[in-house]
DNA sequence: CTTCAAACGGACTCGCGGTCCAGTTGATTT
DNA sequence: AAATCAACTGGACCGCGAGTCCGTTTGAAG
């Protein structure tokens, strides 16, 4: 078992997460926030930052994870409609809606994570894989089994942050309207009623 | 009116386009192809390359455009099912299928273009805007007008290269199967028959 | 043949992610 | 309380690639 993290290390981790969280949300273009910026804002050396989080993507994911923890808990064992006791179809729609809502509430950092052109595509990130697995599972039994994975991708493709932001900006849709339209489109894919 | 391009300039443009075209297709990871690589392969200075195409994205788009020219012509005034005389619904499905086919046939460069994290998202690239405008136009009259643009985005989201490649790799789907499934999903969105 | 705007090329700058390592510090042992 | 030392720290440093600069060359026009 790994030994407990040293006190200064723990303190620095918190400082870095807090600084990164603020910076990425504050910057008008989050893509321009550099690792040096984060280190400076956290009052920490760059080496420390990389030691803790490995690389830029690691830091981004760590920030993202702290924010999504609550939602994850609600999904794993919360009350309906997100929790596991909800019937598949209803839960799927609720999960998709929650995903859209969450991404909009955290759009800056979501943008950085989704359009970061790292070697691996967004579809291979842990968070997407998790969501996709869950969706696929719920879809098994609702559609031809062989199509569950594909349908999961199709549904999740409506929640890509660039698409969401584009619709809000070019269509002048409110978030409410957007969420409603996505629900409707998803309903059409799942077969209405 | 702009004066005719000098002979050496024209020659270099061709050399660069040819070199870039080959390089991006040949490299196992097209993202690793640098501008210096292209310049070297074309037997041209880096300055020349930037003078002709502005920046990396400009070069990529130029290569892409030479490849897509044929398809564009077939759409603008070719025979059915791509050409303008085809009924809207049928044409939409044909256009979507042609898009998927084209991207798969040119996947390396499509990948670079779609996941290049330049300031602007892929949804703002000239080619996407064009496709989206055409789709939106065809959808007007088929769906509630206010939904045409959104439906166009939804349909085109199935043709994103990362999604296509993911399905081929993880589901072990053939290109034929993939195209069939996308057609089916699109049909469901448009309302069957 | 002269002229010169256009084009050329490659050395150079710049910014950023990531590494390195000499010095520091917090837990543990005696 | 002191000694010990692995973990941690910070910031100088490195490598790389996009994009710029500018002294030199060249093709076309007269």
pLDDT tens figures, B125-183: 999 999 999 999 999 989 999 999 999 999 999 999 999 999 999 999 999 999 999 99
Q: Which residue of A has its CA nearest to B116?
A: A117
Q: Per residue of chain A (193 residues), what is the pLDDT tens digit?
A: 566 889 999 999 999 999 999 999 999 999 999 999 999 999 999 999 999 999 999 999 999 999 999 999 999 999 999 999 999 999 999 999 999 999 999 999 999 999 876 778 999 999 999 999 999 999 998 999 999 999 999 999 999 999 999 999 999 999 999 999 999 999 999 997 6
Q: Do A181 and B149 touch (CB under 8 A)?
A: no
Q: Do B181 and A150 touch (CB under 8 A)?
A: yes
Determine the distance in angstroms separating the CA of A79 from the nearest CA of chain B, rounded to an integer.
31
Contacts of A115 in chain B (CB under 8 A): 115, 117, 121
Chain mean position to CA B92: 16
> Computed from CA positions of residues A165, A171, A177, A181, in that sequence, does the dihedral angle turn out positive or negative?
negative
d(CA A118, CA B31): 10
Q: Do B119 and A163 touch (CB under 8 A)?
A: no
Tokens of B144: 């509630």
- Give the per-residue pLDDT at B119: 72
Is the N-terminal amide bond of B127 cis, ω within 30° of 0? no
Q: Do A163 and B149 touch (CB under 8 A)?
A: no
The DSSP letter of residue A166 is H
Q: Do A150 and B121 touch (CB under 8 A)?
A: no
Is the N-terminal amide bond of B81 cis, ω within 30° of 0? yes
With an 8 Å Cβ cutoff, the interface of chain A facing chain B consists of: 29, 31, 115-117, 119, 121-124, 147, 149-151, 153-154, 157-158, 160, 162-163, 165-167, 170-171, 181, 185, 188-189, 191
Residue B34, SS3? coil
A34: the nucleotide nearest its CA (via C1') is C16
> Which nucleotides in chain C have some atom under 7 angstroms from a protein Cβ?
6-12, 15-21, 25-28
Residue B192 has pLDDT above 80, yes or no: no
């Amino acid at each position: 078992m790994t030994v407990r993290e040293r006190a200064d290390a723990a303190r620095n981790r918190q400082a870095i997460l807090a600084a990164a969280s603020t910076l990425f949300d504050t910057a008008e273009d989050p893509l321009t926030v550099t690792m040096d910026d984060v280190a400076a804002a956290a009052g920490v050396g760059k080496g420390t930052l990389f030691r803790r989080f490995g690389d830029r993507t690691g830091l981004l994911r760590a920030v993202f994870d702290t924010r999504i923890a609550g939602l994850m808990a609600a999904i794993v064992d919360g009350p309906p409609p997100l929790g596991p006791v909800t019937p598949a179809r209803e839960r799927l729609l609720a999960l998709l809606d929650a995903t859209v809502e969450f991404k909009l509430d955290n759009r800056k950092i979501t943008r950085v994570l989704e359009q970061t052109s790292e070697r691996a595509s967004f579809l291979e990130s842990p968070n997407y894989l998790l969501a996709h697995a869950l969706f696929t599972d719920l879809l098994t039994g609702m559609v031809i089994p062989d199509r569950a994975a594909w349908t999961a991708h199709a549904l999740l493709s409506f929640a890509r942050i660039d698409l969401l932001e584009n619709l809000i900006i070019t269509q002048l849709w409110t978030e409410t309207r957007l969420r409603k339209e996505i629900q409707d489109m998803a309903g059409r894919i799942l077969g209405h009623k």
